[in-house]
Amino acid sequence: DTAVSQTPKYLVTQMGNDKSIKCEQNLGHDTMYWYKQDSKKFLKIMFSYNNKELIINETVPNRFSPKSPDKAHLNLHINSLELGDSAVYFCASSRGPFTGELFFGEGSRLTVL
């Protein structure tokens, strides 16, 4: 059983399209995250939810909209995709916002043409 699973693992799409990435964790964790890894491998937090409530919202264009239907799921929707959105997006979870390590999904590689 995969602890943190993301779908799809690869997306290739045209500029201007809208796309979603789904994330689910079966660890019973309260907190979930979206990280973006750019072409230089730098990882940066985008959003964090704790028990379905947004607790971290870094400086991210409002074309990015996270949604947490329950504490086991955190989805990322991206509108009007741009070339600069090409990256690997990682979902992660932790027991709580201030406790312990993060467990990561396998990442979703988004390529915008």
Rg, the chain, Cα only:
13
Q: Counting beta carbons within 10 angstroms of the beta carbon of residue 110, is it exposed (0 to 12), middle (13 to 18) or buried (19 or more)?
A: buried
Give the footprint of other proteins on residues 40-99 (CB under 8 A).
40-45, 48, 50, 55-56, 88, 90, 92, 96-99
Q: How far is CA 41 from CA 36, 44, 88, 90, in A?
A: 9, 10, 9, 12
Q: Which stretch binds other proteins (CB under 8 A): 11-19, 67-75, 77-85, 104-112?
A: 104-112
Question: Closest by alpha carbon to 101, among 3, 1, 2, 15?
Answer: 3
Nearer to other proteins, 56 or 72 (CB): 56
**Side-chain half-sphere CA neighbours of 21 within 13 A:** 32
Tell me how many residues contact other proteins (CB under 8 A): 28
By CB under 8 A, name the one of 19, 60, 79, 107 that touches other proteins. 107
Q: Residue 92 Cβ, how far from other proteins at the closest point, in Å?
A: 8
Residues at the site binding other proteins, with contacts judged by CB under 8 A: 31, 33, 35, 40-45, 48, 50, 55-56, 88, 90, 92, 96-104, 106-107, 109
